[in-house]
Amino acid sequence: MADTNRGVVYQGSGTVTVEDLDYPELTLHEQNGRRLQHGAILKVLATNICGSDQHMVRGRTTAPVGQTLGHEITGEVIELGSDVEFIKKGDLVSVPFNIACGRCRNCKERNTGVCENVNPARAGAAYGYVDMGGWRGGQARYVTVPYADFNLLKIPADRDTVMAKLTDLAMLSDIFPTGYHGAYTAGVTTGSTVYVAGAGPVGLACATACLLLGAAVVIVGDMVDSRLEQARSFGCETIDLSAHGDLPEQIEQVLGVPEVDAAVDCVGFEARGHGKDAGEQPATVLNSVMEITRAAGGIGIPGLYVTGDPGGVDENAQVGQLGIRIGLGWAKSHVFTTGQCPVMRYNRQLMMAILHDRVQIARNVNATVIPLDDAPAGYREFDQGAARKYVLDPHGLVNA
């Protein structure tokens, strides 16, 4: 008899609960009417709370009540569809948050964040996320993964090694590749000076990626003291954006010039203006990074922007139409890269960096393990600005 399943469910603005869920099946009529002979069922070993989840839980998306949550999944394969050839039962795997078919033009070009076949509404799908194809979330004891041979990254190490590094490997499903994508597409390389907007988990992962890529100076800006302290703990310079609003002046105090080679927006559409009493100004980060990035520099934008925000500050913000100074970016010949990170471009290389001790991503993002049933408390603490990356432990196996 199959084990029971439980998972995290959105219950309306500000509220999540942990509920009994149906055990996954490989015949899933509620998931786009597909029979998943190409899929696998995973026992979830670790699954994380993401800032993107927090946008939903705050009521800042059109997510319906009853939406299951969770797109950062690391697990053990326990059941396979009849068409799966290469993934085997017992494999320990990382799951890219992008769901991809491996067959369409975008997947063949490695643009797996915008797969054309897994979401009837638009290109691109993800587990447990609003408007992303109706796939069940992975903040649960068990979850189904479609197109298993294509999507799953097998971790090539013995079980003891994987379990010992599980909090690091758990970052491969989203935030580490996402932070790396922001840095890489901004052109960060040996000797770069970089500004990272936001010291949440993705911002800290991006700062880690910048250092891994060889940046000379990484400056992280945020308004929460504990998050800035976390950034300093692994060698970043920091700027307290709540102190005053003159970002170029603060950059100059660090570098001697008021500009950087590259910048990365790790905040997204709930950005606040700079200064102590500033309210929400969703275009703040986009405009500020154009201001302080040198001419011909690059800007990575992994921070989330949405097309529907019921809590937006005005009618334009509610449909994702922001007051961006595109003329400034044009005049400075900036290169912008936006959208979901295509995780498969990076996850294998980053996995090898973890397995061979080239990076300490769990330490840098302050990974904090909590039981699955404590997820509501984790969401509350994260919403209050906790300088932590919460890792849910559905089976009590992390660090066991």
pLDDT in tens, 195-228: 999 999 999 999 999 999 999 999 999 999 999 9
Q: Kindly report the number of other CB atoms within 10 A of residue 264's CB atom.
A: 36
Q: Distance (Å, rounded) from C-alpha 157 to C-alpha 155? A: 6
What is the fold of 178-338?
Answer: Rossmann fold (3.40.50)
Q: What is the reported pLDDT for 1?
A: 43
Q: What is the reported pLDDT for 36?
A: 84
Sequence-separated (6 or more) residues with CB below 8 Å from residue 157: 92, 165, 355
When pLDDT is cut at 50, 70 and 90, the band that residue 276 belongs to is low
Residues 108-123: pLDDT tens digits? 999 999 999 999 999 9
Q: Maximum CA pair distance of the chain?
A: 66
Q: What is the mean pLDDT of residues 352-356?
A: 98
What are the φ/ψ torsions at residue 134 (nearest 5 degrees)?
A: 80, 15
Q: What is the mean pLDDT of residues 7-33?
A: 86
When pLDDT is cut at 50, 70 and 90, the band that residue 400 belongs to is low
Q: Distance (Å, rounded) from C-alpha 382 to C-alpha 49? A: 9
Q: What letter does residue 302 receive in the DSSP assignment? A: -
| Whether 9 contacts 19, CB under 8 Å | yes
pTM: 0.95
Tokens at residue 227, please? 């998050």
Q: What is the reported pLDDT for 278?
A: 74
Residues 295-341: pLDDT tens digits? 999 999 999 898 888 888 889 888 889 999 999 999 999 999 999 99
Q: Kindly report the number of other CB atoms within 10 A of residue 119's CB atom.
A: 19
Q: What letter does residue 12 receive in the DSSP assignment? A: S
Strands 389-393 and 40-48: antiparallel
Q: What letter does residue 283 receive in the DSSP assignment? A: T
What are the φ/ψ torsions at residue 42 (nearest 5 degrees)?
A: -110, 140
Mean residue pLDDT across the chain: 94
CATH superfamily, with its number, for domain 5-174+342-393: Medium-chain alcohol dehydrogenases, catalytic domain (3.90.180.10)
Question: For residue 120, with 0-12 CB atoms within 10 Å meaning exposed, 13-18 middle and 19 or more buried, which class applies?
Answer: exposed
Q: Distance (Å, rounded) from C-alpha 334 to C-alpha 311? A: 30
Helices 175-185 and 201-212: angle between axes, nearest 10 degrees:
60
| Whether 203 contacts 400, CB under 8 Å | no
Q: Distance (Å, rounded) from C-alpha 275 to C-alpha 288? A: 13
Cross-strand partners of 212: none
The single residue listed with the structure tokens 């298993």 is 148
Tokens at residue 35, please? 């029979």
Q: What is the reported pLDDT for 31?
A: 62
Concatenated DSSP letters for 317-376? GGGT-----HHHHHHTT-EEEES---GGGTHHHHHHHHHTTS--HHHHTTEEEEEGGGHH
Q: Distance (Å, rounded) from C-alpha 382 to C-alpha 208? A: 20
Q: What spatial distance separates the first Cα and last Cα of the chain, rounded to whole Å?
A: 25
Residues 45-100: pLDDT tens digits? 999 999 999 989 998 898 999 999 999 999 999 999 999 999 999 999 999 999 99
Q: Judge if 5-174+342-393 and 178-338 fold alike in CATH terms.
A: no
| Whether 8 contacts 137, CB under 8 Å | yes
Helix (H, G, I), strand (E, B) or coil at 71: coil
Torsion angle defined by CA atoms of residues 83, 89, 94 and 96, in that order, rounded to the nearest 10 degrees: 20
| Cα 8 to Cα 18, 262, 319, distances in angstroms | 4, 37, 27
Judge whether residue 29 has pLDDT over 60: no
Calculate the CA 291 to chain-centre distance: 25
The order of strands in the sheet holding 237-240 is 237-240, 217-222, 193-197, 260-265, 293-301, 335-338
- Where in the chain are the domains? 5-174+342-393, 178-338
| Whether 72 contacts 128, CB under 8 Å | no
